Amino acid sequence: MTASERTKQLLANGLKELAATSSLRKIRVGELCERCGVDRRTFYYHFRDIYDLAAWIFEKTVITYYPSKSHVRPTREGLTRVLERFRKEGAFYRCALAEDSQNALGRYYVSRTVAMYSMVVQNIRGRERLTDQESFSITYHCIGALGMTRRWLFSEPERSAEEFAEYMIQSMPPVIRSLYETEQEEAK
Protein backbone atom coordinates (compact mmCIF):
# COMPACT_ATOMS: atom_id res chain seq x y z
CA MET A 1 0.00 0.00 0.00
CA THR A 2 1.39 3.39 -0.99
CA ALA A 3 1.79 6.29 1.43
CA SER A 4 -1.09 8.02 -0.34
CA GLU A 5 -3.36 4.99 0.12
CA ARG A 6 -2.36 4.72 3.80
CA THR A 7 -3.24 8.38 4.35
CA LYS A 8 -6.60 7.97 2.62
CA GLN A 9 -7.31 4.88 4.71
CA LEU A 10 -6.34 6.72 7.90
CA LEU A 11 -8.78 9.51 7.04
CA ALA A 12 -11.46 6.96 6.10
CA ASN A 13 -11.10 5.18 9.45
CA GLY A 14 -11.30 8.51 11.26
CA LEU A 15 -14.45 9.47 9.37
CA LYS A 16 -16.05 6.11 10.17
CA GLU A 17 -15.32 6.67 13.87
CA LEU A 18 -16.76 10.19 13.82
CA ALA A 19 -19.83 9.05 11.87
CA ALA A 20 -20.72 6.72 14.74
CA THR A 21 -21.65 9.76 16.84
CA SER A 22 -22.33 12.60 14.40
CA SER A 23 -23.93 13.24 11.02
CA LEU A 24 -21.64 13.86 8.05
CA ARG A 25 -23.07 17.35 7.79
CA LYS A 26 -21.69 18.17 11.25
CA ILE A 27 -18.25 16.60 10.82
CA ARG A 28 -15.65 19.22 9.98
CA VAL A 29 -12.43 18.63 8.08
CA GLY A 30 -10.43 20.22 10.91
CA GLU A 31 -11.99 17.87 13.45
CA LEU A 32 -11.21 14.84 11.27
CA CYS A 33 -7.63 15.99 10.64
CA GLU A 34 -7.01 16.56 14.34
CA ARG A 35 -8.37 13.10 15.16
CA CYS A 36 -6.09 11.52 12.54
CA GLY A 37 -3.01 13.65 13.20
CA VAL A 38 -3.04 14.91 9.62
CA ASP A 39 -2.62 18.44 8.30
CA ARG A 40 -5.68 19.99 6.59
CA ARG A 41 -3.63 20.50 3.43
CA THR A 42 -3.02 16.75 3.34
CA PHE A 43 -6.76 16.13 3.53
CA TYR A 44 -7.42 18.57 0.68
CA TYR A 45 -4.63 17.06 -1.38
CA HIS A 46 -6.64 13.82 -1.46
CA PHE A 47 -10.29 14.90 -1.11
CA ARG A 48 -12.49 17.90 -1.95
CA ASP A 49 -14.61 17.57 1.20
CA ILE A 50 -16.05 15.07 3.70
CA TYR A 51 -18.54 13.82 1.10
CA ASP A 52 -15.75 13.10 -1.37
CA LEU A 53 -14.06 10.98 1.31
CA ALA A 54 -17.38 9.18 1.99
CA ALA A 55 -17.67 8.44 -1.74
CA TRP A 56 -14.10 7.10 -1.74
CA ILE A 57 -15.00 4.75 1.14
CA PHE A 58 -18.06 3.55 -0.76
CA GLU A 59 -16.05 3.09 -3.96
CA LYS A 60 -13.40 1.03 -2.15
CA THR A 61 -16.19 -1.23 -0.84
CA VAL A 62 -17.93 -1.58 -4.18
CA ILE A 63 -14.85 -1.92 -6.40
CA THR A 64 -13.75 -4.88 -4.31
CA TYR A 65 -16.89 -6.87 -5.10
CA TYR A 66 -18.47 -5.34 -8.19
CA PRO A 67 -17.28 -5.12 -11.76
CA SER A 68 -15.25 -2.16 -12.86
CA LYS A 69 -14.83 -3.47 -16.38
CA SER A 70 -17.65 -3.58 -18.90
CA HIS A 71 -17.22 -7.27 -19.69
CA VAL A 72 -17.63 -8.44 -16.08
CA ARG A 73 -21.11 -9.21 -14.82
CA PRO A 74 -22.26 -8.36 -11.32
CA THR A 75 -22.71 -11.43 -9.13
CA ARG A 76 -24.97 -12.50 -6.28
CA GLU A 77 -21.87 -13.05 -4.18
CA GLY A 78 -20.60 -9.56 -4.97
CA LEU A 79 -23.91 -7.94 -4.08
CA THR A 80 -24.13 -9.97 -0.87
CA ARG A 81 -20.58 -9.03 0.15
CA VAL A 82 -21.21 -5.31 -0.45
CA LEU A 83 -24.33 -5.55 1.72
CA GLU A 84 -22.39 -7.46 4.40
CA ARG A 85 -19.84 -4.64 4.43
CA PHE A 86 -22.64 -2.08 4.73
CA ARG A 87 -23.97 -3.99 7.72
CA LYS A 88 -20.53 -4.46 9.28
CA GLU A 89 -19.79 -0.75 8.97
CA GLY A 90 -23.40 0.07 9.79
CA ALA A 91 -22.78 3.23 11.81
CA PHE A 92 -20.92 4.83 8.91
CA TYR A 93 -23.35 3.72 6.19
CA ARG A 94 -26.44 4.64 8.22
CA CYS A 95 -24.93 8.08 8.78
CA ALA A 96 -23.76 8.55 5.19
CA LEU A 97 -26.89 7.20 3.51
CA ALA A 98 -29.25 9.13 5.79
CA GLU A 99 -28.17 12.44 4.27
CA ASP A 100 -29.84 13.78 1.18
CA SER A 101 -27.82 16.90 0.43
CA GLN A 102 -26.38 17.71 -2.97
CA ASN A 103 -23.11 15.85 -2.33
CA ALA A 104 -24.56 13.06 -0.21
CA LEU A 105 -23.41 9.48 -0.60
CA GLY A 106 -26.91 8.36 -1.64
CA ARG A 107 -26.67 10.37 -4.85
CA TYR A 108 -23.25 8.87 -5.55
CA TYR A 109 -24.62 5.38 -4.80
CA VAL A 110 -27.36 5.87 -7.40
CA SER A 111 -25.08 7.34 -10.07
CA ARG A 112 -22.44 4.64 -9.52
CA THR A 113 -24.89 1.74 -9.71
CA VAL A 114 -26.73 3.22 -12.71
CA ALA A 115 -23.41 3.64 -14.52
CA MET A 116 -22.26 0.13 -13.63
CA TYR A 117 -25.46 -1.62 -14.73
CA SER A 118 -25.73 0.52 -17.88
CA MET A 119 -22.14 -0.23 -18.89
CA VAL A 120 -22.54 -3.97 -18.41
CA VAL A 121 -25.88 -4.15 -20.25
CA GLN A 122 -24.54 -2.07 -23.16
CA ASN A 123 -21.49 -4.29 -23.46
CA ILE A 124 -23.42 -7.55 -23.28
CA ARG A 125 -25.94 -6.33 -25.85
CA GLY A 126 -23.17 -4.92 -28.06
CA ARG A 127 -24.71 -1.45 -28.24
CA GLU A 128 -23.47 2.03 -27.56
CA ARG A 129 -26.78 3.18 -26.08
CA LEU A 130 -29.53 1.72 -23.97
CA THR A 131 -33.11 2.13 -25.04
CA ASP A 132 -35.08 4.77 -23.17
CA GLN A 133 -37.00 2.00 -21.39
CA GLU A 134 -33.80 0.20 -20.35
CA SER A 135 -32.29 3.42 -19.06
CA PHE A 136 -35.47 4.29 -17.17
CA SER A 137 -35.73 0.79 -15.66
CA ILE A 138 -32.13 0.79 -14.49
CA THR A 139 -32.38 4.27 -12.94
CA TYR A 140 -35.75 3.49 -11.34
CA HIS A 141 -34.34 0.32 -9.80
CA CYS A 142 -31.19 2.01 -8.47
CA ILE A 143 -33.19 4.80 -6.82
CA GLY A 144 -35.50 2.22 -5.27
CA ALA A 145 -32.54 0.08 -4.21
CA LEU A 146 -31.10 3.05 -2.32
CA GLY A 147 -34.37 3.52 -0.43
CA MET A 148 -34.66 -0.15 0.40
CA THR A 149 -30.99 -0.35 1.44
CA ARG A 150 -31.57 2.56 3.82
CA ARG A 151 -34.64 0.82 5.22
CA TRP A 152 -32.74 -2.45 5.60
CA LEU A 153 -29.83 -0.77 7.42
CA PHE A 154 -32.08 1.22 9.74
CA SER A 155 -34.94 -1.11 10.53
CA GLU A 156 -34.45 -4.69 9.35
CA PRO A 157 -31.62 -6.12 11.49
CA GLU A 158 -33.04 -9.63 11.29
CA ARG A 159 -32.78 -9.86 7.48
CA SER A 160 -29.39 -11.20 6.42
CA ALA A 161 -27.35 -9.60 3.65
CA GLU A 162 -27.78 -12.75 1.57
CA GLU A 163 -31.57 -12.70 1.96
CA PHE A 164 -31.74 -8.97 1.22
CA ALA A 165 -29.55 -9.42 -1.88
CA GLU A 166 -31.89 -12.14 -3.15
CA TYR A 167 -34.95 -9.91 -2.56
CA MET A 168 -33.19 -7.14 -4.48
CA ILE A 169 -32.37 -9.42 -7.40
CA GLN A 170 -35.92 -10.78 -7.59
CA SER A 171 -37.24 -7.18 -7.63
CA MET A 172 -34.93 -5.98 -10.40
CA PRO A 173 -36.30 -5.14 -13.84
CA PRO A 174 -35.59 -7.89 -16.38
CA VAL A 175 -32.78 -5.90 -18.03
CA ILE A 176 -30.73 -6.14 -14.81
CA ARG A 177 -32.06 -9.36 -13.30
CA SER A 178 -30.99 -11.23 -16.44
CA LEU A 179 -27.37 -10.45 -15.53
CA TYR A 180 -27.75 -12.36 -12.27
CA GLU A 181 -29.85 -15.16 -13.79
CA THR A 182 -27.25 -15.77 -16.49
CA GLU A 183 -24.71 -16.13 -13.69
CA GLN A 184 -26.84 -18.85 -12.06
CA GLU A 185 -27.31 -20.68 -15.36
CA GLU A 186 -23.57 -20.60 -16.06
CA ALA A 187 -22.87 -22.06 -12.60
CA LYS A 188 -25.02 -25.12 -13.33
The model carries a pTM of: 0.85
The pLDDT assigned to 179 comes to: 87
Fold entry, domain 49-187: Tetracycline Repressor; domain 2 (1.10.357)
Those residues of the chain that have pLDDT short of 70 are 65-72, 182-188
Contact 156, 90 (CB under 8 A): no
Q: How do the domains of the chain map onto residue ranges?
A: 49-187
The pLDDT assigned to 104 comes to: 85
The pLDDT assigned to 118 comes to: 93
SS (H, E, C) 12-73: HHHHHHHHCCCCHHHCCHHHHHHHHCCCHHHHHHHCCCHHHHHHHHHHHHHHHHCCCCCCCC
